[in-house]
Structure 1
Amino acid sequence: MPYFAVYAPDYTDEGAIERRFKVREAHLANAAKESRMKVGGAMLSPNEALDTPNPPEKKMIGSLMIFEAESYAEVKELIENDVYWTGDVWDKEKTEIRPWVSPKSLQ
């Protein structure tokens, strides 16, 4: 089965982080049950936060996921049914779904 990488940045308006936290538990519960998602997690800002001795406060700014699925349409449906999508957390204009190949799958 093919793999797909999903880059889903959050909206950046003033209420975006509050919307994320409002539906976060439901999002995590659903993600834990989704066998087609092989890895996923939050992207953090600022980019250098992990490289500095006294990093500024990290905040979630989006999500990155890898799915194993039959088709792009299947992954698109999963994303569009996620509470981060329906709850206006992920930026619908900037979310990307791309075919992804791991070095192991090429062997």
Structure 2
Amino acid sequence: MPKYIMWGSYCEDVLEKRTPYRQAHLDGLAKQKESGVLMTIGPTKDVTKVFAIYEAESENVVRQLVENDPYWQHQIWTEYEIKEWIQAL
């Protein structure tokens, strides 16, 4: 199955603004991880970018996951891009 990386950006004052949506966001990620579609996700240390690796049938599946996330729906993530990834090692 293809793998995809997602790079995204966080809004200003993310640590404050994410609070009302954080638990729903984490619960959704846990379900994705359990199902095997999400391999890993996390912010950069300065909390300006988010990085994720997915294993999914298509880029469209990944886009749906990102766009259904509370962080996207409430503008905590302000932009993202997805690229198919070839794992060399």
For 2:49 and 2:74, the matched residues in 1 are separated by 13
| Ranges in structure 1 where 5+ consecutive residues have no aligned partner | 46-59
When the two structures are superposed, what TM-score results if normalisation uses the length of structure 1? 0.73
For 1:62 and 1:83, the matched residues in 2 are separated by 16
Tell me what 1:63 maps to: 50
For 1:64 and 1:84, the matched residues in 2 are separated by 13
Q: How does 1:76-95 map to 2 (within 5 A)?
A: 76-92=63-79, 95=80
What SS does structure 2 have at the residue aligned with 1:24? Answer: helix
Comparing both structures, which one devotes a greater share of its residues to strand?
2
Identity of aligned residues (%): 33
Residues 26/81 of structure 1: CA separation in 2 closer, same or farther (3 Å cut):
same
Q: How many residues get paired?
A: 86
Tell me what 1:31 maps to: 29
Instruction: Flag the structure with larger Rg.
Output: 1
